[in-house]
Amino acid sequence: MSGFSAAASAAAAERCALAIRARPAASSPATRQQASLRRSAGPRRSSTFAASRRGPVAPRAVATPADRASPDLVGKFTLDSNSQLQVAVNPASQGSVTEIDLEVTNTTGSLILHWGALCRDRRDWLLPSRRPDGTAVYKNRALRTPFLKSGDNSTLRIEIDDPAVQAIEFLIFDETQNKWFKNNGQNFQIQLQSSRHHGSGASGASSSATSVLVPEDLVQIQAYLRWERKGKQSYTPEQEKEEYEAARAELIEELNRGVSLEKLRAKLTKAREAPESLESDSPASQITVDKIPEDLVQVQAYIRWEKAGKPNYPPEKQLVEFEEARKELQAEVDKGMLIDQLRKKILKGNIESKVSKQLKNKKYFSVERIQRKKRDIMQILSKHKHTVIEEQVEVAPKQLTVLDLFTKSLQKKDGCEVLSKKLFKFGGKQILAISTKVLNKSKVYLATNHMEPLILHWSLAKKAGEWKAPPSNILPSGSKLLDMACETEFTKSELDGLHYQVVEIELDDGGYKGMPFVLRSGETWIKNNGSDFYLDFSTRDTRNIKDTGDAGKGTAKALLEKIADLEEDAQRSLMHRFNIAADLVDQARDAGLLGIVGIFVWIRFMATRQLTWNKNYNVKPREISKAQDRFTDDLENMYKAYPQYREILRMIMAAVGRGGEGDVGQRIRDEILVIQRNNDCKGGMMEEWHQKLHNNTSPDDVVICQALIEYIKSDFDISVYWDTLNKNGITKERLLSYDRAIHSEPNFRSEQKEGLLHDLGNYMRSLKAVHSGADLESAIATCMGYKSEGEGFMVGVQINPVKGLPSGFPELLEFVLDHVEDKSTEPLLEGLLEARVEIRPLLLDSPERMKDLIFLDIALDSTFRTVIERSYEELNNAAPEKIMYFISLVLENLALSIDDNEDILYCLKGWNQALEMAKQKDDQWALFAKAFLDRIRLALASKGEQYHNMMQPSAEYLGSLLSVDQWAVNIFTEEIIRGGSAATLSALLNRFDPVLRNVAHLGSWQVISPVEVSGYVVVVDELLAVQNKSYDKLTILVAKSVKGEEEIPDGVIGVITPDMPDVLSHVSVRARNSKVLFATCFDHSTLSELEGYHQKLLSFKPTSSDITYREITESELQQSSSPNAEAGHAVPSISLVNKKFLGKYAISAEEFSEEMVGAKSRNIAYLNGKVPSWVGVPTSVAIPFGTFEKVLSDGLNKEVAQNIEKLKNRLAQEDFSALGEIRKAVLNLAAPTQLVNELKEKMLGSGMPWPGDEGDQRWEQAWMAIKKVWASKWNERAYFSTRKVKLDHDYLSMAVLVQEIVSADYAFVIHTTNPSSGDSSEIYAEVVKGLGETLVGAYPGRAMSFICKKDDLDSPKLLGYPSKPIGLFIRRSIIFRSDSNGEDLEGYAGAGLYDSVPMDEEDEVVLDYTTDPLIVDHGFRNSILSSIARAGHAIEELYGSPQDVEGVVKDGKIYVVQTRPQM
């Protein structure tokens, strides 16, 4: 069925329309008057109820008698889930009273009607003289009348006898719930028009009806037009009825806006030829309707599109938008606006040029994009590393005050624990409040250096703000108990000749939260900056680090203590603070990175409102901005001279704001007066704010201004004002805390709306120009230059453009500003990044106005992060390629914001390559992208750790000195990270990781050691921290960090981690050998769920690629018969054979034997000549067993031997700190001449270079490397490992295998039986770029991994691309490898416990995998991996058993450096 049926038309014709007029809570008087005049312009008789703007209520028929009608129910409204408001009006006949009856159903409390009357000639409420009983006048602006309770309902009747009253407006207040009821956020309004306004005398319902009928023929036309607009679709009968009623409602809305019925008919008949039933001589045929010019329709459509956030519209939606725009303009014309007036109204700013640009490009409703320049991303490379060097400046010991001595005297008491402590300052003196616990007794001490007679007026509190008199049994001697407090005299005392006064109070166990107090000296009361002093008992004091030996460790301690000494002066005003900061810049610079960090921490505490901004000091805005300008000038100069500090300096500048000389700050003072004068708002909140601005402007004023703007935009919803303030950290208490407090709420009139929005918007520019370091508009304006005259804002201000800006840069910034609110964020993000890249060369140089460019870059960065967070919704259902592109953009933005971005840039290059692979449908794209996603995560974790190490010690020490809230100190670094691009990037990666794992078929787990286990879950931060612990019950660790070199603790049968140690790392091998479950969990939700099982019993069942788990009972655990149940406690039965020195200091490979060297040396000698010719084996010699002991016993080393013997005795007493001291002692050994001669002879005889031939220094390097190998016998991991299996550590003997290093392109480790699956037909191998130390050592990231079937060695299968960010490379050199008699014992995996040390230090290189042929060249990769697999297979065949093989690749050739049986 199509179109509309006659039946539906007939049904619709039975209904009459109720006239509705939507009206905001406080429209302007002019609007009211015009609306009233329009309503009275025709013969309309209506009783109307003003509903919300959301739309009309359903029309219904209404009729009344001619003389006095019975009350008409004009509306029902739901107040809450159980309560409804019903309003009935009994209209007045000539000279009588109009009655309005209100009834609220199901009420529980007492209700108040807050109301007033509306008259044509008044802008505010009239307060009628005829009022119900109990009515009170509220502030001469409204009436408040109580409802009467009637059963479950509340009722009220209002009588209006004033003929001038056209309507009443009201709100309802529930006193019991302290809750206001509104009509969809607006005032309720009841229209009172009656026959007395329109004449009367005709009888019958038709003449006195309270509603106007909408002619049914017009409803039919409107319904038809709606049907046409919707594409003439088929409707069901129910839909037809809905369409008719919707059409009727649209026409009623037009009439309510004041459009006459004649104009409405003319409009409809012009839009559509009238049906035949319309007469040609009707009034419509004689009405001319103004035609809307097409150019205005296009402009209005553009404005609608901008307001919607510039979404991408399909063609059909574009047509709808044009028609909607036309309708909006026609409605304005119908209300009486002339076309010229309409044109003037909407053609503001550069809107015409924007529209013409779209029309010219034929890109209707589509967002333009900038064309990003093609450039090498490495052009933005920066390699300024943050090196933390502890302060070396000699600082004279700080003179201890009497209060410092008093604190120390308490801490020296046996068992005394300081629980909380706070130092207060008053009038140049100090009072120290300390709560302690000694032998379960709680005490409070108050000590002061104020030596005049002093009274402590104090109480105790169980909740904030409470004053509660203490119990009489705890009062100090001589105290006087009052109603709510107690008074105690201070007692004079002395320490080291210094005098002080003290009060000591012993508390009972009363559950007190704190102690409020004030002081009295004679008749003078002493308070804490106008408030009570308060010592909080509930927060344990972790800020006593100042009193410990580690106080200030890792900080610029002298600088921080100087800041603390100057803080009281800094609190006077922001002018004082910024001038003090400027004075400290030189000292901070001299202290190095930690000095700059110290200034940042201080300024950050200020910016986050942890420090007082103003105290009893009035300062002009221009004085604040001048001080800011001075401080930021100093920061600018340091930015130019010290590129390694730029990242931190940007953070400081962003927190401080721009400032400015002369009238920049003065504008804040002057322009608020302009706002008040222009908008007639000189009292109340605006006057209070004006006083604050004149005396103490601060960054809070930016927030207050924004809150006012949002409040006005919301049609004066006061909750919006408070929400905006609270979201930005400003509470009512903070407003009241200003020296010039803000007590009042804003209260504006509707006619002030447009003017205030205009003026406050301008004023915001001035506020941000001074206070905001990250405001985009003001930063762009400052760099581009501007000149403003008139209107009282920025009068006479002229700022010239920055010179030397790139070509096209102004247009780029204009694009950014034009699109900053777009809903489609991708073009804007590209524009922001392009702008940052364009100005980067200037930021690396020293331009004349560097500071303005820095603030522009800060603003671009800040806006980018805001826009990215706004785009999350856009990415919810986006294709993988789009999410990858957004990650690429965020990576680039991060690279532009940090001083050392090499790793991030290589991540970006790899990620862009993965994106191209995805676009080309490469079947490896997800696996490739996963490796780079993991590498990006490592980079972010490394950055977070760097920030923590760099900033947190300063935050903790300065926080302790300044008594900053402990929660703010604890989260200091976390908040810095959360506010930067790294947090945004991390969030995007977390979203995308499951997508990659799904496409690459990786699952949520990598099972490294597949063992079925049951035990208690224990959550730990680091496996390293518990590796020496022994668990007394079967334990499965969920460890947040696993590096790869740790031991598995005793009692542990499983380890689950989000970290990604290599499958062949030490801890992985150890887990497999010990039959311990070991797996990486990639899914954050699964990991969180497992952490929630802390201390609960779980059973884990792994496969090669997945793990299932379930909670079990204690009885199920006991019944478990799994063979691994005792794995965590098993101790293998093994022993060491004591090795003796056999007379030789050095031997060649031909002399290697079990008595002389370990398995590592013997295996490498065995391979020589037996492996295929294409496999190289490096030449080797060895320093045999017993040599270390022989050297130690030499007379040359008598003192070293004695020292080591003493240290070994301490170790026997379980003083494990001796381990490190033994290692240091070993390094003091001198080399016997015979050792040097024999080693030289063997090395030269084997064709190896002798280090001494290059000079004595080279031999000393070699000798030090040998001693480091011997010393590794006492490294913690090896010592505890042998101790765990009860090996006699004294019997552990260390030979040293000496080999020439092959300067490797790649290094590899092979297990000739797949260790994860146990498949003996399959080889598993891992490969890294550079030396193998990054593979076997605890270097972050994963190696490239692959498997290869032994019956198809030409077809290796890649399992994962590498994510290790670092490669190690070395020149031609010698390596000295550990070769102990404890490394390859059966049943004990000792390999990797001891150190191999190269003679020269390796160079760490940040790796770029996008240029590595092993990654990008499939043929090369297949050849190398196949060769590695063949070498492993050949060695396994040679030994006849599975092998663990290490080797390197150099120029395509395979070298094997060692092999051992696979454990």
pLDDT digits 0-9 by tens, 104-158 = 988 877 899 999 988 866 667 889 988 998 899 888 889 999 999 888 889 999 9
Which residues touch 1045 (CB under 8 Å, ≥6 apart)? 1065, 1066, 1067, 1277, 1337, 1338, 1392
* pLDDT confidence bin for 1074, thresholds 50/70/90: confident
1310 phi/psi in degrees, rounded to 5: -115, 135
* pLDDT confidence bin for 203, thresholds 50/70/90: very low
The answer, yes or no, to whether residue 607 has pLDDT greater than 80, is: yes
What does the block give as tokens for 1339? 């270097």
Cα–Cα–Cα angle for 148, 154, 155, rounded to 5 degrees: 70
The answer, yes or no, to whether residue 545 has pLDDT greater than 80, is: no
C-alpha closest to that of 1399 among 1324, 1328, 1307, 1296: 1296
Task: Output the pLDDT for position 190.
Answer: 81
346 phi/psi in degrees, rounded to 5: -95, -15
What does the block give as tokens for 1185? 């067993």
C-alpha closest to that of 756 among 806, 721, 802: 721
pLDDT digits 0-9 by tens, 346-389 = 876 666 666 666 555 555 556 678 888 889 999 988 888 776 55
Most confident of 171-185, 466-480, 526-540: 466-480
Task: Output the pLDDT for position 870.
Answer: 86
**Strands 188-191 and 165-174: what pairing?**
antiparallel
Rounded Cα distance, 597 and 1313, in Å: 52
Q: What is the mean pLDDT of residues 483-494?
A: 94
Rounded Cα distance, 124 and 1092, in Å: 60
Q: How far apart are the first and last CA of the chain?
A: 79
Rounded Cα distance, 1152 and 1242, in Å: 13
**Strands 1397-1398 and 1453-1461: what pairing?**
unpaired
Stretch among 192-196, 403-407, 779-783, 1228-1232 having the lowest mean pLDDT: 192-196
Stretch among 326-340, 1129-1143, 1270-1284 having the lowest mean pLDDT: 1129-1143
Helix (H, G, I), strand (E, B) or coil at 1058: coil
* pLDDT confidence bin for 288, thresholds 50/70/90: very low
Rounded Cα distance, 336 and 332, in Å: 7
**Strands 1005-1009 and 165-174: what pairing?**
unpaired
pLDDT digits 0-9 by tens, 1184-1238 = 999 999 999 999 999 999 999 999 999 989 898 999 999 999 999 999 999 999 9
Helix (H, G, I), strand (E, B) or coil at 672: helix
Assign 3-state DSSP to the chain and report helix, strand, coil percentages, each to 5. 45, 20, 40
Sequence-ordered strand ranges (E) for 1155-1305: 1175-1176, 1180-1183, 1294-1300
- 165 close to 92: Cβ distance less than 8 angstroms: no
Residue written as token pair 């308070």: 527
Amino acid letter for position 1286: K
The answer, yes or no, to whether residue 91 has pLDDT greater than 60, is: yes
Which residues touch 216 (CB under 8 Å, ≥6 apart)? 9, 12, 13
Q: Which pTM does this prediction carry? A: 0.69
- Helix H or strand E encompassing 1236: helix 1233-1245
Task: Output the pLDDT for position 221.
Answer: 80
- 187 close to 170: Cβ distance less than 8 angstroms: yes
pLDDT digits 0-9 by tens, 1026-1052 = 888 889 899 999 999 998 888 888 899
C-alpha closest to that of 765 among 834, 675, 897: 675
Task: Output the pLDDT for position 388.
Answer: 59
What does the block give as tokens for 834? 């392009």
Rounded Cα distance, 1188 and 495, in Å: 57
327 phi/psi in degrees, rounded to 5: -60, -40
- Identify which has the larger pLDDT, 680 or 874: 680
CA distances from 487 to 459, 472, 480, 483, 805 (A): 9, 12, 5, 11, 70
pLDDT digits 0-9 by tens, 38-76 = 333 333 333 322 333 333 332 222 233 334 456 777 778
- Helix H or strand E encompassing 1403: strand 1403-1406
Stretch among 399-413, 778-792, 1399-1413 having the lowest mean pLDDT: 778-792
Count Cβ atoms below 10 Å from residue 385 Cβ, excluding itself. 10
Overall size of the chain counted in residues: 1463
pLDDT digits 0-9 by tens, 761-813 = 888 888 887 787 778 888 888 888 865 544 555 555 567 888 889 999 999 99
* pLDDT confidence bin for 457, thresholds 50/70/90: very high
C-alpha closest to that of 783 among 729, 682, 728, 860: 860
Alpha carbon dihedral 24, 25, 28, 34, in 10-degree steps, equals 50
CA distances from 599 to 211, 958, 1437 (A): 72, 10, 65
The answer, yes or no, to whether residue 273 has pLDDT greater than 70, is: no
Q: What is the mean pLDDT of residues 1142-1161?
A: 92
> Mean pLDDT over all residues of the chain?
82
Amino acid letter for position 1128: G
63 phi/psi in degrees, rounded to 5: -145, 150
* pLDDT confidence bin for 1006, thresholds 50/70/90: confident
Task: Output the pLDDT for position 432.
Answer: 92
Count Cβ atoms below 10 Å from residue 713 Cβ, excluding itself. 12
Task: Output the pLDDT for position 18.
Answer: 25
What does the block give as tokens for 1240? 């030289």
Rounded Cα distance, 1157 and 972, in Å: 54
CA distances from 287 to 100, 265, 291, 342, 491 (A): 40, 9, 13, 20, 98
- 805 close to 814: Cβ distance less than 8 angstroms: no
Residues linked to residue 769 through DSSP beta bridges, in sequence order: none
Q: What is the mean pLDDT of residues 1355-1369?
A: 94
Rounded Cα distance, 210 and 91, in Å: 9
Give CB contacts under 8 A, 24+ apart, made by 265-269.
265/215, 265/218, 267/330, 267/334, 268/218, 268/221, 268/222, 268/225, 269/221
CA distances from 1043 to 18, 1243, 1340 (A): 75, 36, 7
C-alpha closest to that of 85 among 14, 182, 7, 15: 182
Task: Output the pLDDT for position 874.
Answer: 80
- Helix H or strand E encompassing 173: strand 165-174
Task: Output the pLDDT for position 1102.
Answer: 87
Residue written as token pair 């010019």: 293
Task: Output the pLDDT for position 1386.
Answer: 63
Rounded Cα distance, 444 and 449, in Å: 17
* pLDDT confidence bin for 179, thresholds 50/70/90: confident
Residues assigned a catalytic role: 1066
